Amino acid sequence: MAQNQRDELVFVPLGGVGEIGMNMGAYGFGPERSRKWIVVDCGVSFGGPDLPGIELIMANPEFLEERADDVLALILTHSHEDHYGAVLDLWPGFEKPVYCTPFTAAMLAAKRAGDGIVENVDITIMRPGQPFDVGPFTIEAINVAHSIPESNALLISTPIGRVLHTGDWKLDPTPVVNAPTDFARLQAIGEESSTPLALVCDSTNAMKEGESPSEAEVAANLETLIANAPNRVAVTTFASNVGRVVSIVRAAEKAGRQVVLSGRSLHRIMGIAKELGMLEGLPPLLDQDAYRTLPRNKIVLICTGSQGEARAAIARIARGDHPVIELNAGDRMIFSSWAIPGNEREVIDIQNLLIDKGVEIITQNDGLVHVTGHPRRGELQKLYSWVKPQVLVPVHGEPAHLLAHAKLGREAGIPNVIDARNGDMVRLFPEPLAFPAEVRTGELYLDGLVLCTPEESGVKGRRRLSFGGHVVVSLCVGGNGQIVSGPDLVVEGLPETEDESITDLVEDTIAGVLKSMPAKRRSDTEVLNSALFKAIRNEVNAYWGRKPNVSVFVHRV
């Protein structure tokens, strides 16, 4: 990017643009050499089968660390893991304030206590409709409907231009618990023409026509399904979807049933909702210990595990190893959720286990028991017409989502539509333009308790071990070439059949190498090590068709 001394408003996506999850973006204002920065969101994504042992992935904040003196604050749009899950891992080192709503602040405190995290962050509470200043930025939170309480878009104003950063949102006029999207404020933003506006906008459902159904429609369907169930009803949903849980509780109350919660995250989040007054007027929620004391037709179970997590309540119930709860033939199980891409197999496996027990399974394929928290194309078009952006930057999506969103924006006549990816430097004002791959980005893995780069994590070695197993040989050789002890052998992860033994094959190979080598050559540990390594790999490959991982330790005594 050319050196200059004029004020610019720029956007740098560090995560979440070109992928789902790990959302983190930086906004900079001022001349390039003295630019001040704010960060919006600091989320995680989740490791899959291709990353054995890795649970969480987060954006590498190296770009921000290099400018730490000019980074002023972190602002959180809401408390879904993909937007706030990395805060306690990445932000304490910056020692800068975190702005968020009371619900998000409580979620951070609960996460810190539950995970035993020592580091803390400086929280400043923000509220919709109450602008605040951070350096050269004026920031206003605007309430939007989403699948977790207190979700916000952010209006970020500077002397040369404004940005509406939508976060996750939808146009739901009848949400449950959550306040509806502030249509009036969004429309007013479009009428304020003092400075031009850029829209940095959620693309998750940009490939779907129409408008997303309301949470109230799901509530009505759940009420019917719970009222006409002959026996137990169990429902699994995202623990953070307080509105959905409230809908289930209200439906249970109308049907004369009591509600039992099972799952730590459900208890934690509903405890926060109660403290903040979101559960006023609802009957008490019972712990799982009450489950066996209630008649089958007088109970609704709400449990964790909607994504097929092996240790969550519904997975344990399906396997029959939950200490308190069981489901039997004739009971009804509602999956009031959708499987995040990559989790489909685990969810289907749980459903099949329940089906084998005679449990009736109801999913979104059977009726409207779940709705998205993100806008479809019709909602995006309404937002364009309200806020009248001069610039559109699609974010929060994979390439197909971003492409569809960009095309929709161009069809709507937005003058500048910028196709951005993680690491691009996007100049919003003046003269909108993207500078691809201007910023070095990457990922950090949370590997157990260790935060590390992919290169440091050892994941490549784990993949090799998972594919090829491991053969370990250890022996001691004297100066005269005689074997003093060993060879000791460990074979892990290779096939052993009744007719053929790879262990025997390796033992024979080692014996053959030792017998064929003169004593003088055996006394050279490097030569012996190399010979054993090559022979074992080649012989096992000839038999098995795969090259194993081989470690040989030759010690000279």
Instruction: Output the average pLDDT for the chain.
Output: 93
pLDDT in tens, 237-286: 999 999 999 999 999 999 999 999 999 999 999 999 999 999 999 999 99
Residue carrying the six token digits 């190296």: 62
By the 8 A CB rule, do 312 and 267 touch?
no
Over range 490-517, report the average pLDDT: 89
Instruction: Give the per-residue pLDDT at 309.
Output: 87
pLDDT above 90 (res 180): yes
For 422, the 3-state DSSP assignment is: coil
pLDDT in tens, 117-176: 878 899 999 999 999 999 999 999 999 999 999 999 999 999 999 999 999 999 999 999
Over range 460-488, report the average pLDDT: 89
By the 8 A CB rule, do 156 and 162 touch?
yes
Of 443, 430, 439, nearest to 67 by C-alpha is 439
pLDDT above 60 (res 2): no
- Lowest mean pLDDT: which of 92-106, 384-398, 494-508, 540-554? 494-508
| Burial zone of 358 (CB within 10 Å; 0-12 exposed, 13-18 middle, 19+ buried) | exposed
Q: Which domains does the chain have, with CATH numbers?
A: 8-210+372-452 (3.60.15.10), 215-362 (3.40.50.10710), 469-556 (3.10.20.580)
- Lowest mean pLDDT: which of 225-239, 306-320, 365-379, 395-409? 306-320
Over range 387-404, report the average pLDDT: 97
In angstroms, rounded to a whole number, what is the distance separating the alpha carbons of residues 173 and 376? 15
Positive or negative, the CA dihedral 85, 142, 121, 70 is positive
pLDDT band at 1 (very low <50, low <70, confident <90, very high): very low
Instruction: Give the per-residue pLDDT at 530.
Output: 93
pLDDT in tens, 181-197: 999 999 999 998 789 99
pLDDT above 60 (res 4): no
Over range 46-63, report the average pLDDT: 89
Instruction: Give the per-residue pLDDT at 210.
Output: 96
pLDDT above 50 (res 3): no
pLDDT above 50 (res 54): yes
In angstroms, rounded to a whole number, what is the distance separating the alpha carbons of residues 170 and 508? 67
pLDDT in tens, 421-463: 999 999 999 999 999 999 999 999 998 888 988 888 888 888 8
In angstroms, rounded to a whole number, what is the distance separating the alpha carbons of residues 404 and 342? 22
By the 8 A CB rule, do 272 and 103 touch?
yes
Amino acid residing at 161 = G
Instruction: Give the per-residue pLDDT at 115.
Output: 81
By the 8 A CB rule, do 388 and 360 touch?
no
Strands ordered across the beta sheet of 483-492: 483-492, 470-477, 549-556
Longest dimension (CA), the chain: 92
pLDDT in tens, 203-215: 999 999 999 999 9
* pLDDT above 90 coverage of the chain, percent: 79
φ and ψ of 327, to 5 deg: -120, 140
Instruction: Give the per-residue pLDDT at 506.
Output: 92
In angstroms, rounded to a whole number, what is the distance separating the alpha carbons of residues 81 and 86? 8
Q: Which residues, in sequence order, are CB contacts of 222 under 8 Å at separation 6+?
A: 235, 247, 248, 251, 334, 336, 369
SS (H, E, C) 376-408: CHHHHHHHHHHHCCCEEEEECECHHHHHHHHHH
Positive or negative, the CA dihedral 534, 540, 543, 547 is negative
pLDDT in tens, 286-342: 999 999 999 999 999 999 999 888 889 999 999 999 999 999 999 999 999 988 777
